[in-house]
Structure 1
Amino acid sequence: MRIEARQSLILTIDMQDRLLGAIPETERNKAIENSARLLAAAAALEIPRLATAQYPQGLGPIRADLRSFCTESFDKTVFSCWRHAPLRNLLETGQGRHQVILTGVETHICVLQTALDLHSAGWQPIVVADACASRDDANAQSALLRLRQAGITVTVAESVFYEWLGDAAHPQFRSLAPAWR
C-alpha cells in the first residue's frame, strides 16, 4: 500500500508538554520535530490535520507550535482516539480519506489503541515510528512490533513525506524538501 496525499489525513495524538516532559529528551525532540515537519507538509499539501489532547485539564493543552498547523482538535479522556465519538464522527462523515497518519504519545498506549481500533474499523492507520514516543523506549518498541504483527503499517516521517509528493516534479517539492535535509 502506498501512502497517497489525496487519501491521507494526519492525527497527532496528545502532544502536550506535561506528557512529553516524561519522555527522554532525544526521543521527545525527535517526535516533536518529525510531527511538526509532517504537519507543515500536510498544511502545504492541504491534507486535513487533526490533533487530540488527553485530559487537558490536568495535562495541559496541545503544544502551540503543533496545534497551529491543525484544522481540528479534540479534548478526550479515552485512550483510543477512535473511541472519542466526535472525532470518530468527523472521520466517518466528512473526510473521505481512509489513510490515517498517526504521530504522538505514548506509542504503547494511545497510539497503539487508536491504530488497532482504526484497523479493526476498516481504516488504514499508518504509524510514524520516529514521530511517536513513550516514556520507556522498550514499551514503544513492543508496541511497534505488535502493530506490525497486526498488519498495521509502521514507517518513518521522511517516507510519508516523499510518498505524499510522489515525484520530484511535484509543484511543492522545491519549497518543502529543504525541511527534510
Structure 2
Amino acid sequence: MRIEAQQSLILTIDMQDRLLGAIPETERNQAIQNVTRLLAAAAALEIPRLATFQYAKGLGPIRADLQSFCAPPLDKTVFSCWRHAPLRNLLETEQSRRQIILTGVETHICVLQTALDLHSAGWKPVVVADACASRDDANAQSALLRLRQAGITVAVAESVFYEWLGDAAHPQFRSLAPAWR
C-alpha cells in the first residue's frame, strides 16, 4: 500500500511526559523527534491530526510542544483508541481518509491494540515504528512483528513523509525537507 497524503490522517497516541519518562532516553528522544516532524509535515500538508491521552487525571496532558499541532486531545481509559466512542465517531466522519498513521506510546499496548482494531474494522493503519516506543524495546519489537503478521503496514517516519510528498517538485518540498536531514 502506498501512503497518500489525501487519504491519510495521523493519530498520536498518549505522548504524555509521565508515560514517556519510563521509556529509555534514546527511544524516547527518537519517538518525540519523529512524532514532531510528522505532525509538522501533516499540518503543512493539511492532513488531519488527532491525539489522545491515557487517563489525563493521573498521567497528565500530552506534551505541550505537540498540542499546537493537533486537534484537542481526547481523554481515554481504554487501551485501543478505536474502542473510545468519541474518537471512533471522529474517524467515521473522515470516510475519504482510510489510512491512519499511528504514532505514540506504548507500541505493545495502545498502538498495537488500536492498529489491530482499526484493521479489523476495515481501516488501513500504518504503524510508524520509529515514532512509537515502549519501556522495553523487546516488547516493541514483538508488537511490530505481530502487526506485520496481522497484515498491518509498519513504516518509518521518513518514508511516510516522502510518500506524502510523492515528488521533489511538490510545492512544500523545499520548506519541509530540511527537517528530515
Identify the TM-score tier after normalising by the shorter chain: over 0.9
Is 1:102 aligned to residue 102 of structure 2?
yes
The answer as to whether partners of 1:49 and 1:72 remain within 8 angstroms in 2 is no
Identity %: 89
Matches within 5 A, 1:167-178: 167-178=167-178
Question: What is the DSSP-based 3-state SS (H/G/I as helix, E as strand, rest coil) of the residue aligned with 1:140?
Answer: helix
Count the aligned residue pairs. Answer: 181
Corresponding position of 2:144: 144
Counterpart AA for 1:73 = P
Question: What is the DSSP-based 3-state SS (H/G/I as helix, E as strand, rest coil) of the residue aligned with 2:163?
Answer: helix
Corresponding position of 2:27: 27
Cα deviation code 1:12-62 (max 9, x no counterpart): 000000000000000000000000000000000000000000000000000
Corresponding position of 2:123: 123
The answer as to whether partners of 1:5 and 1:164 remain within 8 angstroms in 2 is yes
Q: Tell me by how many angstroms 1:93 deviates.
A: 2.1
The answer as to whether partners of 1:124 and 1:152 remain within 8 angstroms in 2 is yes
Counterpart AA for 1:9 = L
Q: Tell me the C-alpha RMSD between the 2 structures.
A: 0.7
Is 1:133 aligned to residue 137 of structure 2?
no
Structure 1 residues 70, 99: closer, same or farther in 2, change over 3 A? Answer: same
Matches within 5 A, 1:70-89: 70-89=70-89
Question: What is the DSSP-based 3-state SS (H/G/I as helix, E as strand, rest coil) of the residue aligned with 1:15?
Answer: coil
Once structures 1 and 2 are overlaid, which stretch shifts more, 106-115 or 95-104? 95-104
Counterpart AA for 2:179 = A
Q: Tell me by how many angstroms 1:95 deviates.
A: 5.3
TM-score, normalised relative to structure 2: 0.99
Counterpart AA for 1:155 = A
Paired with 1:23 and 1:82, the residues of 2 have a C-alpha distance of 24
Paired with 1:94 and 1:176, the residues of 2 have a C-alpha distance of 25
Moved beyond 4 Å, runs of 4+: none
Corresponding position of 1:159: 159
Question: What is the DSSP-based 3-state SS (H/G/I as helix, E as strand, rest coil) of the residue aligned with 2:73?
Answer: strand
Question: What is the DSSP-based 3-state SS (H/G/I as helix, E as strand, rest coil) of the residue aligned with 2:93?
Answer: helix
Paired with 1:15 and 1:175, the residues of 2 have a C-alpha distance of 26
TM-score, normalised relative to structure 1: 0.99
Question: What is the DSSP-based 3-state SS (H/G/I as helix, E as strand, rest coil) of the residue aligned with 1:130?
Answer: strand
Cα deviation code 1:136-156 (max 9, x no counterpart): 000000000000000000010
Paired with 1:47 and 1:95, the residues of 2 have a C-alpha distance of 14
Question: What is the DSSP-based 3-state SS (H/G/I as helix, E as strand, rest coil) of the residue aligned with 1:46?
Answer: coil
Once structures 1 and 2 are overlaid, which stretch shifts more, 68-77 or 140-149? 68-77
Corresponding position of 1:42: 42
Paired with 1:137 and 1:18, the residues of 2 have a C-alpha distance of 18
The answer as to whether partners of 1:15 and 1:105 remain within 8 angstroms in 2 is yes
Is 1:65 aligned to residue 65 of structure 2?
yes
Is 1:13 aligned to residue 13 of structure 2?
yes
Cα deviation code 1:54-73 (max 9, x no counterpart): 00000000001111100242
Cα deviation code 1:87-107 (max 9, x no counterpart): 001111245310000000000
